[in-house]
Structure 1
Amino acid sequence: MRLTIASGVAAFTAAVLLYPLFAGGAWFWTSLGAVLAVVAAGLLSSRLSLPAWAAPLVGLAATGIFLTVSFASEEAWALIVPTKDSVAELVRLLGVGWADIQRFAAPVPDTDGITLLTSGGVALIAIAVDFLAARLRRAALAGLPLLALATVPATILTDPISWPAFIIAALGFVGLLISDGRERIGHWGRAVLVRRTRVVNPSQGTPPRDTADTSGLRLSGKRIGFAAIVLAVLLPAALPAMEPVSFFTFGVGGRGSGPGNSISIPNPIANLKGQLQLPDRRVVLTYTNNDDQPRYLRIYALDTFDGQQFGMTQPKGAPQNRTENGPLPAPPGLGRDPKINNVVTNVRISDEIARLQFLPLPYPPRQIKVDGDWRADVDTLMVFSTREEAAGIEYDVSTSEPQPTADLLDATDNTPPQVDDRFLALPENLPPGILELAEKETAEANTRYEAAVMLQEFFTTDGGFTYNLETQGHSNSALSDFLLRSRAGYCEQFAASMAVLARLIGIPSRVAIGYTGGTKVGDHWEVGTNDSHSWPELYFEGVGWLPFEPTPSGAAGQGSARVPEYSRPRPEPAATTSEPSPGATSSEADAPQDPQARRNIRELDREGTVATGTLPPDDSMPLAGKIGIGAGALLLVLLIPAGLRLVSRNRRVRRLTWKVSQPSDELTARMAVGRGQTTVAAVWAELDDVLYDYGMARLPSETPRALARRLTQQYEFDAESAAAMTAIAGNVERVLFAREPGRIAPMGKDLRKVRLALAATVSRGRRLRAVLMPPSTLRRIRMLGERLLDGFDLLETIRLRRTSQKGA
């Protein structure tokens, strides 16, 4: 019976670990009821002496009845007995609960389906624990189902398990082990080295019987268990935090991945087309910036092409790339030559947007001020989270936008692109007509930049393309049909086709999916579902990734698409002057050489950020500083015993600094005597600690006089030190044994002489240890822990006594 109850307690205390997963408390009380039902079934099985295999079946039946009463009582017979309709209702709720779990992020609401799933799962854990511990007598093995229950929040949530919940769960498991040990030892009969007691139950008239007194072993087990729990909580807190290794990297899982340190990435292309086909426009986000200009807001960067469609490599967010740590990683490929436009944008995401765990951002972001654990992928600068959602949040993003000129982009042709091969990779079975088309349309280009501009013109002006949302398919044949025959599609097909053609002529490319700049409404820009958009990004060494716009302008639903100024064709040679073209900025090669222009791009970025007055500069601490702070904190923790010893010593010394005055009356005389006795107690306590710190602890049987004689002879005190030690011992004996100790002179100087004499007899290392890690203070800390455990041991003495009534 005891093991059955302990099993239920252990299961429910382990279920407490689930509390961060829920927004309400209905799961708690329902799970408690389910565990009580299992415990009642276990007690019934024990009472009826059922075989071990039958107990889980009784537990399952009890769980079914409880869940029927809680969730399907209207369909049950007499509100209790399950029927076909009640079972069907429970199955329906299980399906709804499973769908809700897939739909909601933790903490999830207390819907009936989720509560049913949770309470049923906790009941199954309780049945397994009862079967292993109470039926098979394998209490240690019962920790496995409890551990399985604890791993649920550990795998779903990024935050560690709270220590109060861990302590509660650990106490439940320790209680199960103690109950199992008590049952085993109690059945031994005559216990070795254990006291035997006589147990009499007068109320039942049973004769006296002998039983083994296992209290000593139980107390030892509890002390070990409590000490293990305390170490498990305090030791990790004292150790420096460690980040997970590579195979536990914080990252994003592929499509359809489950919960944990990964998120499910929806199909960006399908989501894009779905938003464009919505009958009514819905506001997705609003934004403002310091130059009041519209900007594309990128969410995803698709970098792999399998011959059918572009996909996304799993992004990884390293701990040092958290947005809260300051500036993001430098934009790939961006050098010092382009002029940089620093802009700060404030973005507000609508509450209605669902399951978005990537932030819409202008490119390239350099610093983000946002609440929550958001991280940047180094290769693409996508910012994402595995536990946060973007719905309803507001954040500031600082961008450093390169503004290259045509001459600067032409000059990049002399430097081969230093990017990953995946940005140039294409399938081998690509139709040859597509390669011929790419070579034909860029035949007159002298540089990669000129070829990129020609490709954009091919889609927007020269190729006769039209915008059409009804186009289907992403296969090679669909790509060939779009480029070579129909030439009708929507933004995703334009972006993917230009990216493929760019790769064919040696320009690294990828496809971005997000939103166009939207529409100006009042003092802010408003972005709706009809502004969903896809565009290609091409890479130029020294400038980085630049967006191009191949989708024809003025297309239905894409009216807010804009062609970047640098991607427009060059003006006619006759119109070429020393003046830059409208909207373009001169490069560093065209401008006079300014010493400030050759400064590090990070410094220029930081100045631009400060000038806006919105985001703070990068004041993140270097690694050496963090290590120094950690070492200092560890040193302070190690010096706690030394601090406690110094405090107690100073308190005792203050008691010794009192002046002897002639008593003017009897009350003053009594106060002087009392003050002298307090001084003697302080001197004796301090001397005792000094001896313990120096490894000279007095023997329990030594009197003060015997201690003084031993120290004087053993360590060869000089005359003054021997006299001081004798005076201290004499005063202590007077206070302890004299009926009227009288007035006692101050002993501060005597204690100081004795302490110096003792210190001169030990090594320097022993003296250093006495100062930094005083054994006397460590002894008090250890004794405090023992007294705390003794307080738990007192619970063992609590007994419920039954009194019998005598008949008249």
Structure 2
Amino acid sequence: MSGPGIHRRGWSLVATTLAALCVGLAFRRVFESREVLLVTVLSAIVPTFVVAACSGGPKRFVVDAEQARATRPLWPSVVLSALAWLLVVSGTLFRDRAVGYVVPTPGGVRDIGAAVVNAPKSILTTVLPAPPDGELLVLVSVCVWVAAFASAELALRTATVSLPALPALLAVVVPVVLGVGGPGSNVPVMIAMIGAIGLLLLIRAPQRRPPMGTALVGAPIVVALACVAGLLGPDLPGTRDRRPPDLRDLVELPPPQRLTGISPLDRISAWLMSPDQPMFSVDGPSAPDRYWRLTVLDRYDGSSWYPVRDLRATAGRVPDSPDGRPAVLTSVVNHVTLRDLGDIWLPASDRPTGVDAPGLRLRVDPVSGVIASGSGLRSGTRYRIDARIPALDPDRLQYLPAAHDPANTVLPESDAVGRPIPALEALRAKAVLATSGSTFPYQQALRLAQWLRASPHRYDIAAVPGHSYRNLQFFLETSKEGTSEQFATAFAVMARTLNLPTRVVVGFSAGREGANGVHEVRSGDVLAWPEVEFEGVGWVPFFPTPGQATDTGAHKQAPEQKAPTSSTPAKPITRAEKDRQIAGQSRSGPAPDPATPVRSHRERTRWELFAAAGAGVGVVGYLVSAWLGPVLARRRRRRGGPREQVIGAWRQINEDLVGAGMRTSESLTVGDVADYGATRLPSEAADRLPGLAALVNDIAYGERTIDQADADAAWRDRAIVAGAVRRLDGRPRAHVRAGHRMRPSSVALVFRSPDRGRE
């Protein structure tokens, strides 16, 4: 029988089940691992048992592949597997719609079918990890079940070595594609998948290969390849900096979340006129130089700025910014209790990484990190928010180019009848004047903010609200008084005329610290500020509002954030101090980013380490194979019938005499080998060679009957010859013998089948 034998075909089910388990575990980036585990285990094991039962059990594994296809129809296995899947899914994911929590009702069957169809799109429109709802987890069950069922059937019905691995390889594509952008990494799962497939190939290897040699050498090779793939795969050239394809960019989002109430930017003046209205309280670290962001406004039509609207459902995770992030200065955890804030926006410190808000159906804008609720927020709502405070380094920012982001540089250039807008031209002229002499985007932004903060512009909570082109022109040319609404929006519009991508953020200052370290944030603490996007770092805040106090005593000024520096801790240099230095500098040309050569050196060092590790694995594997080759060859030659054992003893004597200096030419006859031994070995060993040589010739060319006694005698003769060779004075030196053992022909003995090359 060709192909896998009776036991190998049955043991293949172990490997196919492991591969199916890897398919389910690959969903770890889509769902929380603990939610996937039960569904994965049941969906991998149950169909395997169904296939084994339909095949008649282990006794049926003895049939040949062709006979199996002819005698066992496929449809009973398919039907039973489908029924078993319905029961498992109904009893685990749809229990509330099942009779006795197991048997699905007709309505439950329809719900399961609809969930299977809708799950992929629902996952693609959700920020990962997705909530562990049965309507979404059903996709895990389908992928794992199909992979396990198809692989098991192919393992029992076909004689091919690798075909049973194909269903799992195809099925794992689903979680890998859906998991793009999710937390964690699937590298460990892919290593396990490679190991499971390698095990399958070893189990189903053709029987002409020696099982022990295949197991001893093949298994370490499979493990080494899996580890090398896991180490090198994520760092292949172009993979680390290249964003993997994400189907979320192609899927049509649900209708935008409807925003309730008035835009927070339009409410700034009203809040400032009633400054003592409690907005929310913060329990946990809240430094006085940190601001609480409420929402981001990134679209401007010449009259108003509009909040972000591409909100996706989330279970609480906020994805990393797609346009880069600065280094993290610190991580903070806060508990926020809402008061009279209203609307749908949840305050957060900088860009959060996660939100735990029981009872709220959360939405997140993946680009800005803004968090919103699916409905209006009620007073008393409490949630936990985790955030990473960035370390903005002006020394690096000053040389970075602005990001290429046309959507955040666009401005309406003409009115409804197609005529140029005079107010926009006036704002552009003022922006050019304010940034005159600046040579880099960061310096341009600093000088623009400096110009707005300078006299005669003044902060006044009673200023006329509004941020249209005409409002901003009136603010800059006539009144020269405004709240942070006018200063922030004027900066954002003027910077866009300079081709700097900008957006406006509305938030609050830290508020007043009360009892037990709880900060009380009131309506008078509201503030707006602009942000500019830089290549490789993302959005950087600027603060053009003058530092004049309001009636509540809250100062509206730039946070004095400490910048990374080598100065002593006693006198840290703040970002504001460095910004003032950079804004006043004169430059004639660009300077290189100091982080670039360091990063390149690190990448080279990483690849050198990987190359050294790969070379080390190869050398160790070769040495182990060279040591195992003769040992395995000797064991194989002792197996088989008496005739095979006699020939094996003679071949072993050939190897021994090569170690004594005999040439290894294949043209030597049995008599030539015996003659060499007679001249090279002492008489005790040499006298045994002629009789054994005659016996080998009789086996090859005669009809002599060989029994086990002849085989045992041949191996006793071989032991005497080997002992004589070890005691030989004139045999080649140790390094010559070691070199012979290291030759590829000696290493090949690990894989050589017992009957290959017999005389």
TM-score, structure 2 normalization: 0.51
Is 1:633 equivalent to 2:613 in the alignment? yes
Pick aligned residue for 1:19 from 25, 45, 65 = 25
Deviation at 1:31, TM superposition (A): 1.6
**Structure-1 separation of matches of 2:258 and 2:483:** 17
The aligned residue for residue 241 of structure 1 is 232
8 A contact 2:333–2:386 mirrored in 1: yes
8 A contact 1:359–1:383 mirrored in 2: no
**Structure-1 separation of matches of 2:262 and 2:150:** 43
Please show how residues 435-450 of structure 1 align to structure 2 within 5 Å: 435-438=424-427, 447=436
1:164-214: CA deviations, max 9, x gaps? 343335656998xx6xxxxxxxxxxxxxxxxxxxxxxxxxxxxxxxxxxxx
2:731 partner amino acid: L
8 A contact 2:659–2:731 mirrored in 1: no
Is 1:706 equivalent to 2:706 in the alignment? no
**Structure-2 separation of matches of 1:558 and 1:148:** 64
Distance 1:74 1:91, change over 3 A: same
Distance 1:32 1:705, change over 3 A: closer
The aligned residue for residue 511 of structure 1 is 503
Please show how residues 608-687 of structure 1 align to structure 2 within 5 Å: 622-640=602-620
**Larger of the two Rg values belongs to structure:** 1
Is 1:83 equivalent to 2:80 in the alignment? no
**Structure-2 separation of matches of 1:634 and 1:739:** 40
Distance 1:516 1:421, change over 3 A: same
Is 1:28 equivalent to 2:40 in the alignment? yes
Q: Secondary structure at the match of 2:493?
A: helix
Please show how residues 685-704 of structure 1 align to structure 2 within 5 Å: 688-689=658-659, 695=664, 701=670
What percentage of residue pairs aligned between the two structures are identical? 15
2:25 partner amino acid: Y
The aligned residue for residue 562 of structure 1 is 557
Please show how residues 197-212 of structure 1 align to structure 2 within 5 Å: none
8 A contact 2:507–2:527 mirrored in 1: yes
> Which structure has the higher relative contact order (CA within 8 Å, separation 6+)?
2
Deviation at 1:27, TM superposition (A): 1.3
Distance 1:135 1:287, change over 3 A: same
8 A contact 1:509–1:536 mirrored in 2: no
Distance 1:68 1:628, change over 3 A: closer
Q: Secondary structure at the match of 1:281?
A: strand
The aligned residue for residue 355 of structure 2 is none
- What 5-or-longer segments of structure 1 have no aligned partner? 179-215, 260-264, 329-343, 363-381, 385-390, 405-411, 472-477, 567-581, 592-599, 606-617, 650-681, 713-724, 760-766, 788-808
8 A contact 1:94–1:117 mirrored in 2: yes
Distance 1:644 1:281, change over 3 A: same
8 A contact 1:513–1:534 mirrored in 2: yes
Distance 1:532 1:27, change over 3 A: farther
The aligned residue for residue 85 of structure 2 is 63
Moved more, 308-317 or 242-251: 308-317
**Structure-1 separation of matches of 2:161 and 2:681:** 61
8 A contact 2:458–2:482 mirrored in 1: no
**Structure-1 separation of matches of 2:390 and 2:333:** 13
Deviation at 1:16, TM superposition (A): 0.4
**Structure-1 separation of matches of 2:720 and 2:157:** 70
1:72-98: CA deviations, max 9, x gaps? 567555776543454477579879988
Distance 1:527 1:648, change over 3 A: farther
Pick aligned residue for 1:501 from 494, 497, 500 = 494
Is 1:461 equivalent to 2:458 in the alignment? yes
**Structure-1 separation of matches of 2:12 and 2:552:** 63
Q: Secondary structure at the match of 1:286?
A: coil
Distance 1:509 1:95, change over 3 A: closer
Q: Secondary structure at the match of 1:548?
A: coil
8 A contact 2:280–2:520 mirrored in 1: no
Pick aligned residue for 2:331 from 332, 342, 347 = 347
Deviation at 1:55, TM superposition (A): 6.9
The aligned residue for residue 154 of structure 1 is 176
**Structure-2 separation of matches of 1:534 and 1:61:** 59
Is 1:751 equivalent to 2:731 in the alignment? yes
1:434-485: CA deviations, max 9, x gaps? 31452686798583676654445699727987598xx9xxxxxx84476469
2:542 partner amino acid: P
8 A contact 2:123–2:136 mirrored in 1: yes
Q: Secondary structure at the match of 1:518?
A: coil
The aligned residue for residue 423 of structure 2 is 434
- What 5-or-longer segments of structure 2 have no aligned partner? 1-5, 57-67, 272-276, 311-318, 338-343, 353-366, 370-383, 416-420, 438-443, 562-575, 586-590, 630-651, 690-714, 755-759
Pick aligned residue for 1:164 from 179, 192, 217 = 192
1:27 partner amino acid: V
2:194 partner amino acid: F
8 A contact 1:299–1:514 mirrored in 2: yes
Please show how residues 504-543 of structure 1 align to structure 2 within 5 Å: 504=497, 506=498, 508=500, 510-511=502-503, 513=505, 518=510, 535-537=529-531
8 A contact 1:65–1:81 mirrored in 2: yes
**Structure-2 separation of matches of 1:355 and 1:174:** 57
**Structure-2 separation of matches of 1:443 and 1:524:** 46
Moved more, 482-491 or 53-62: 482-491
**Structure-2 separation of matches of 1:623 and 1:551:** 44
C-alpha root-mean-square deviation of aligned residues, in Å? Answer: 7.4
**Structure-2 separation of matches of 1:43 and 1:122:** 21
Deviation at 1:286, TM superposition (A): 3.0
Q: Secondary structure at the match of 1:23?
A: helix
**Structure-1 separation of matches of 2:436 and 2:593:** 29
8 A contact 1:7–1:126 mirrored in 2: no
**Structure-2 separation of matches of 1:76 and 1:30:** 18
Q: Secondary structure at the match of 1:346?
A: strand
Q: Secondary structure at the match of 1:750?
A: coil
Please show how residues 122-161 of structure 1 align to structure 2 within 5 Å: 122-125=144-147, 145-155=167-177, 156=179, 158-160=185-187, 161=189
